[in-house]
Chain A
Amino acid sequence: MANLTDDKRIKVEKVSFSYSSEDDTAAKPPKKALDGISLQIGKGSYTAITGPNGSGKSTLAKLIDILEMPDEGRIVVFGKDTSSEDSFWDVRRKCSIIFQNPDNQIVGTTVEEDVAFGPENLGVPTAELRERVDKALKDVGLYEYRTRPSSALSGGQKQKLAIAGALAMHPDILIMDESTAMLDPHSRQEVLEIVEAMRIRDELTLITITHDMTEAARCDRILVIKDGRVALEGTPSEVFSQKELIEEMSLVLPVEYSFAYKIAEMSKGTLSAEDLKGRDSLKLACARELKKIKADMVPGTKRKERKAQDEVIMSVKALSYSYDEGKTFAIEDIDLDVHKGEILVLAGRSGCGKTTLITHFNGILKAQKGSVTVNGIDTSDKKNVMKIRQKVGLVFQYPEYQLFDETVYKDICFGLKRWSVPEKEFPDRVDKACKMTGFKTEYLEKSPFDLSGGQQRRAAIAGVLVMEPDILVMDEPGAGLDPTGRKSMFDMISRLRDSGVTVIIVSHNMDDSAIVADRVCYMRRGRIVKVGRPEEMFCGKENEFNIPRPYITEFALEVADLAGIPGYASCGDFTPEGEALALAAYYAGGDHHDR
């Protein structure tokens, strides 16, 4: 890196930056988002910037695009100093950012108008505009949608639209600022493939800011930022060889690396830098190490056996719902029993009808055909509305957006007031809900809008739990959280189940939810494809209904193929370590762990 000349790199030198706010005083200076950070990014490289929430990753992206100016230090982009007036527009027009929230970066009312917005600002003549727009839309595969209203696109399509908008600017640098965080795995893969292909074709410098370590592992180089400084940097193999350091920084290794480390631990082998290079080399290394494992080298696993619950608490019968008077059905002919005390995961791609289905569970949508009953009570019956809504708590996606009251305490109590719960019970109930969600009780008197995103989400969930529902339905509980936040969310879900609450999780991502699920229900285009225990859904090569598996299960299957056991049909508990154990046990032929 050091030998690159200035015009061939983005150079960040001792940059500090803090967001000013109204409560700043000399005694209490604002927290620095970036604190003397120095780094270099080579022209044409593919770099991941990662780190915990609030580490200053996004700020760095804004500084490179001159959306903010550094308090101290200097940034030079391909030989152009960002502090100089002359290079301001030069740098900005050559650098494009795709932001996280698909809705908040679309300006145009129609798809093509939005793509044109950037080049229109540059004053590109109309004939060339048309050419650029059409080409960019073809590049991302949205050409057929060009005259549609932009608001009618799906989340994944909106991000592709944002990419088209960036490509039409003919940038040199493309920054993805957590652009895939809100997408389902399928759309995420599509979006990544598009930008990676464009990077090669247009020789772009691609910078991706992400929590997702598997995504970071695709890059040439990884920069880990913590507390406003670079804490670790190198190629994926260099960074992920520092297992302990990464865990210290409360980051997680990509699952395939954790898996490989576990295999190597059992085989008493080591993984070389070459092995750690990427997914393919890891697979080979795992297969190689697997062959060294004998039956007695696999530690016995104690799997938590969960008693099967048969008592039906909620029953969905022949339920259909149409938003357009029967022309198309959002959900069609749904039959589903929810068992008391289980964690049921409703899975499927975005737009498959999951949210429509759960909105029936507490009677917000009334059944058009069929029925939903909770303990025998019909949820569509107007008389039962309040009773049902107390029994079935619904936490929608991004529940933090529903907070409204002056203080968190008042907000959490909203439901209690609506149900005329005696006021003397409030403090105890709020306290219990806070404990369950991990909300810090010292924040109860704060305004909900002054909290961090993670605490806001806990507060919002507490506002539902405070009603002590029998069934809790959560739509994408982990969406937008960093790995630590996601882990504590799923810990909370396990605690809830242990306390006897029936939990229904809606998710497009199986990686976290398969670990906690008792049963999984997979939906496609408004219909249920298959319901079963996770191992019935995801294990084994056979995949009759083409149900997407957790990433780690997919990886374990590929390793099994390489190791010469193509018929591998077992699986563990869907954690990387558990899957490694299960595969080793199967291979060594010892203690079998079929679930």
Chain B
Amino acid sequence: MIGDITLGRYSNTDSVLHRTDPRVKLLLYVIYLVAIFMVTDPVSLVAMALITTVLVVMSNTRLKMIWLTIKPVLPLAVFIVVINLFTIRTGNILFSKWFIVISDEGLSRAILMGMRLIFLIMITSIFLTLTTTPLKLSDALESLFSWMKVFRFPVHEMAMMMSIALRFIPTLSDETQKIMNAQMSRGADYDTGGFMKRIKGYVTVLVPLFVSSFNRAEDLACAMDARCYRGGVGRTKLNPLKIRRADIVIGIVLALLAVILVVTDRFLGQVII
């Protein structure tokens, strides 16, 4: 159902990672992203899996939530593994029958790619979606990119737009459901028929949704005007982002872990070669 659409899944628990400053988490996320793509050695992959486990524990998320985030990408992961496994034929042949040929390089490559994808999803959810509300994320982006204001880039406006969009997602998804119910009562059918027929069917939802969104936008602009909104200049914040010592410690420790991982990975690689 449309009503289920959310931007990532926020896990409504409390943890060290939940409390960590979103800017720190955003930077850590970038560092880990790079690290995931730089490590290649099996030992590093195991180390990476260990670190991810530690992060899961730190984020105090229920395993079910983790499973729910990984589940949708599993088919893709399997696909990537299979493709790599069967198409790479360099290195020592481990197995060969009919047209199936599996080489040791193919195997290690397949495992590496599959693991990367899983790590990628885990890291994104642990640092961002599961532990950070979209609002905090938009605050963090605004703060991290504030230097771009020098180039007249509308950083505040972008962040405001993002937070308003987030605010209206549930409202509009409710409205979509209501309009669909109304049109279904008049005989509309959104579940059967060919692709083109379905697309055409959605006109009966999209037109009213657009019209009402424009009306809402106009009302909202008026309400924001009435509440003295005049852009980001001179605005204060109820919950300003504040870096605490714990944030710095977590940031440095986790960043160091990633760096050590990458460096040792390079080192291991060289030894083998």
A binds B: yes
Q: Is the pair A169, B203 in contact by a Cβ cutoff of 8 Å? A: no
Whose C-beta in chain A lies nearest to the C-beta of B217? A104
Counting CB contacts under 8 A, is B76 at the interface? no
Counting CB contacts under 8 A, is B183 at the interface? yes
Counting CB contacts under 8 A, is A375 at the interface? no
User: What is the bound-complex CA distance between A152 and B173, given in angstroms?
Assistant: 13
Q: Knowing A121-B229, A149-B170 are in contact, say whether A105-B203 is a contact too (CB < 8 A).
A: no
Q: Is the pair B178, A404 in contact by a Cβ cutoff of 8 Å? A: no
Q: Is the pair B167, A109 in contact by a Cβ cutoff of 8 Å? A: yes
Whose C-beta in chain A lies nearest to the C-beta of B136? A109
Whose C-beta in chain A lies nearest to the C-beta of B179? A402
Counting CB contacts under 8 A, is B15 at the interface? no
Specify which chain B residues have a CB less than 8 angstroms from the CB of A402 in the assembled complex.
Answer: 179, 182-183, 186, 208
Q: Is the pair A364, B184 in contact by a Cβ cutoff of 8 Å? A: yes
Whose C-beta in chain A lies nearest to the C-beta of B189? A418
Specify which chain B residues have a CB less than 8 angstroms from the CB of A362 in the assembled complex.
Answer: 185
Counting CB contacts under 8 A, is A99 at the interface? yes
Interface residue stretch chosen among A21-29, A122-130, A325-333, A508-516: A122-130
Q: Knowing A401-B212, A449-B211 are in contact, say whether A464-B185 is a contact too (CB < 8 A).
A: yes
Interface residue stretch chosen among A308-316, A391-399, A425-433, A554-562: A391-399
Specify which chain A residues have a CB less than 8 angstroms from the CB of B224 in the assembled complex.
Answer: 107, 117
Whose C-beta in chain B lies nearest to the C-beta of A93? B228
- A470 to B: closest C-beta gap in Å: 14
Q: How does the 8 Å CB contact mask read for A129-168 relative to B, with 1 for contact and 0 for none?
A: 1100100000000000000011110000000000001000
Counting CB contacts under 8 A, is A458 at the interface? no
Q: Is the pair A389, B212 in contact by a Cβ cutoff of 8 Å? A: no
User: What is the bound-complex CA distance between A403 and B186, given in angstroms?
Assistant: 11
Counting CB contacts under 8 A, is A35 at the interface? no
- A406 to B: closest C-beta gap in Å: 10
- B81 to A: closest C-beta gap in Å: 33
User: What is the bound-complex CA distance between A415 and B188, given in angstroms?
Assistant: 8
Specify which chain B residues have a CB less than 8 angstroms from the CB of A123 in the assembled complex.
Answer: 234-236
Q: Is the pair B207, A404 in contact by a Cβ cutoff of 8 Å? A: yes
Q: How does the 8 Å CB contact mask read for B30-74 relative to A, with 1 for contact and 0 for none?
A: 000000000000000000000000000000000000000000000
Q: Knowing A67-B226, A104-B216, A401-B179 are in contact, say whether A129-B236 is a contact too (CB < 8 A).
A: yes
Counting CB contacts under 8 A, is A106 at the interface? yes
- A404 to B: closest C-beta gap in Å: 4
- B183 to A: closest C-beta gap in Å: 6
Question: Which bracket fits the contact residues of A?
Answer: 35 or more
Counting CB contacts under 8 A, is B96 at the interface? no
Q: Is the pair A386, B186 in contact by a Cβ cutoff of 8 Å? A: no
Q: Knowing A120-B238, A126-B236 are in contact, say whether A386-B187 is a contact too (CB < 8 A).
A: yes
* A125 touches which of B133, B184, B220, B236 (Cβ 8 Å): B236
Q: How does the 8 Å CB contact mask read for B158-202 relative to A, with 1 for contact and 0 for none?
A: 000001101100110001001101111111110000000000000
- Pick the most buried of B164, B203, B227: most chain A CB atoms within 10 A of its CB: B227
Q: Knowing A107-B167, A401-B212 are in contact, say whether A67-B222 is a contact too (CB < 8 A).
A: yes
- A130 to B: closest C-beta gap in Å: 7
Specify which chain A residues have a CB less than 8 angstroms from the CB of B179 in the assembled complex.
Answer: 401-402
Counting CB contacts under 8 A, is B204 at the interface? yes
Whose C-beta in chain A lies nearest to the C-beta of B242? A126
Counting CB contacts under 8 A, is B223 at the interface? yes
Specify which chain A residues have a CB less than 8 angstroms from the CB of B229 in the assembled complex.
Answer: 117, 121
Counting CB contacts under 8 A, is A414 at the interface? yes
Whose C-beta in chain A lies nearest to the C-beta of B167? A109
- A206 to B: closest C-beta gap in Å: 16
Query: Which secondary structure dominates where chain A touches chain B?
Result: helix
Q: Knowing A112-B238, A120-B235, A126-B238 are in contact, say whether A96-B186 is a contact too (CB < 8 A).
A: no
Q: Knowing A396-B182, A414-B186 are in contact, say whether A124-B236 is a contact too (CB < 8 A).
A: yes
Q: Is the pair A103, B187 in contact by a Cβ cutoff of 8 Å? A: no
Counting CB contacts under 8 A, is B22 at the interface? no
User: What is the bound-complex CA distance between A7 and B206, given in angstroms?
Assistant: 50
User: What is the bound-complex CA distance between A364 and B188, given in angstroms?
Assistant: 11
Question: Which bracket fits the contact residues of B?
Answer: 35 or more
Counting CB contacts under 8 A, is A92 at the interface? yes
Counting CB contacts under 8 A, is A582 at the interface? no
Counting CB contacts under 8 A, is B134 at the interface? yes
User: What is the bound-complex CA distance between A360 and B188, given in angstroms?
Assistant: 16
Counting CB contacts under 8 A, is A118 at the interface? yes
- Pick the most buried of A62, A122, A362: most chain B CB atoms within 10 A of its CB: A122
Q: Is the pair A120, B163 in contact by a Cβ cutoff of 8 Å? A: no
Q: Is the pair A103, B226 in contact by a Cβ cutoff of 8 Å? A: no
Q: How does the 8 Å CB contact mask read for A580-593 relative to B, with 1 for contact and 0 for none?
A: 00000000000000
Specify which chain A residues have a CB less than 8 angstroms from the CB of B237 in the assembled complex.
Answer: 116, 120, 126, 129
Counting CB contacts under 8 A, is B263 at the interface? no
- A335 to B: closest C-beta gap in Å: 24
Counting CB contacts under 8 A, is A65 at the interface? yes
Counting CB contacts under 8 A, is A478 at the interface? no
- A21 to B: closest C-beta gap in Å: 14
- Pick the most buried of B170, B182, B211, B226: most chain A CB atoms within 10 A of its CB: B226
Q: How does the 8 Å CB contact mask read for B3-36 relative to A, with 1 for contact and 0 for none?
A: 0000000000000000000000000000000000
User: What is the bound-complex CA distance between A106 and B164, given in angstroms?
Assistant: 9
Q: Is the pair B178, A107 in contact by a Cβ cutoff of 8 Å? A: no
User: What is the bound-complex CA distance between A108 and B239, given in angstroms?
Assistant: 12
Q: Is the pair A389, B178 in contact by a Cβ cutoff of 8 Å? A: no
Specify which chain A residues have a CB less than 8 angstroms from the CB of B170 in the assembled complex.
Answer: 149, 151-152
Specify which chain A residues have a CB less than 8 angstroms from the CB of B188 in the assembled complex.
Answer: 414, 418
User: What is the bound-complex CA distance between A96 and B240, given in angstroms?
Assistant: 25
User: What is the bound-complex CA distance between A125 and B226, given in angstroms?
Assistant: 20
- Pick the most buried of A104, A112, A396: most chain B CB atoms within 10 A of its CB: A104
Counting CB contacts under 8 A, is A419 at the interface? yes
- A469 to B: closest C-beta gap in Å: 10
Whose C-beta in chain A lies nearest to the C-beta of B181? A364
Counting CB contacts under 8 A, is B135 at the interface? yes
Counting CB contacts under 8 A, is A19 at the interface? no
- B64 to A: closest C-beta gap in Å: 14
Whose C-beta in chain B lies nearest to the C-beta of A133? B238
Specify which chain B residues have a CB less than 8 angstroms from the CB of A45 in the assembled complex.
Answer: none
* 12 pairs of residues in contact across A and B, judged by CB atoms under 8 Å: A67-B222, A97-B223, A107-B223, A109-B133, A116-B237, A117-B224, A121-B235, A123-B234, A401-B211, A404-B183, A405-B207, A414-B204
- Which 10 A-B residue pairings sit nearest by Cβ, starting from the closest? A418-B187, A104-B219, A116-B238, A105-B223, A404-B207, A394-B185, A402-B182, A151-B170, A118-B227, A415-B186
Residues of A within 8 A of B (CB): 62, 65, 67, 89, 92-93, 96-97, 99, 101, 103-110, 112-113, 116-126, 129-130, 133, 149-152, 165, 169, 359, 362, 364, 386, 389-390, 393-394, 396, 399, 401-405, 414-415, 418-419, 449, 463-464, 467
List 9 extra interface pairs beyond A67-B222, A105-B219, A150-B167, CB under 8 A: A103-B171, A107-B227, A109-B167, A120-B237, A364-B184, A364-B185, A404-B203, A404-B207, A419-B187
